[in-house]
Amino acid sequence: MKRIFTILLLALLVFTLRACDNNNSKSNTISVVELTERENAILATTTDMSFVFDFNIDSEYKKASIWVEKYQSGKLVDDKINKITTEVVGNGSIIFATSKKGDSQKQLTFNIGISSNGNTGSISGSDAISNGLDNMLSVGGNFQGGNTPIEGEVVLASICYSNSESGISSLTSDFYKDVDGHMNELELYNVVYLIKTEFMK
């Protein structure tokens, strides 16, 4: 576990350094990072699913929180599985990853890291695997497009599980644009984990 965490933190440092060189981001926005082949390979060695984001904020914002919510058949069952709050300044990066699990492992491990202004904060948490979850189909997804405003709570990504015999698809792009108006989409899955963030002044 320590090795996985170390690799993720090193990767986060690389992403943050690159974010600092990115002058195309609008202020008070967050965007999905387009990873290089090498960066994808680094994350693939230690993670099952991973998502990386860059943010650009002005001096009004002082802190950022990232956490995981769990839904079962569309109903919220845990609103803070894993949460980190840290000070942020200017540009930075957020990385979320689930650790690869062994056959005997009965928990999903979530790793969250956030880096800004040379400082890095990280946290690792877990959730007990629901009955049959390890045999279900799973799919991950994140919001599309760049420079998404950071007003209020923002859903960054999702991990969905389903035992449907007809297959599984990720949440629609409309869900990320209007979460409250598309919460019924969560009812299509047995379990959904939503990765959220909020920037605070």
- Residue 17 pLDDT more than 50? no
Domain ranges of the chain: 2-200
- Residue 20 pLDDT more than 80? no
**Average of per-residue pLDDT across 111-115:** 91
**Tens digit of pLDDT for each residue in 67-95?**
999 999 999 999 988 899 999 999 999 99
- Residue 99 pLDDT more than 90? no
DSSP string for 123-164 = EEEEEEPPTTGGGSEEEEEE--SS-EE--S-EEEEEEEEE--
**Average of per-residue pLDDT across 10-15:** 52
User: Of the segments 41-45, 81-85, 116-120, 154-158, which one has the largest average pLDDT value?
Assistant: 154-158
**Tens digit of pLDDT for each residue in 145-166?**
778 999 999 999 999 999 998 8
Residue % of the chain over a pLDDT of 70: 85
- Residue 4 pLDDT more than 80? no
pLDDT the model gives residue 118: 83
Could you tell me the end-to-end alpha-carbon distance of the chain, in angstroms, rounded to an integer?
Answer: 34
Q: What is the mean pLDDT of the chain?
A: 86
Q: What is the CA radius of gyration of the chain?
A: 16
Beta bridge partners of 160: 139, 192
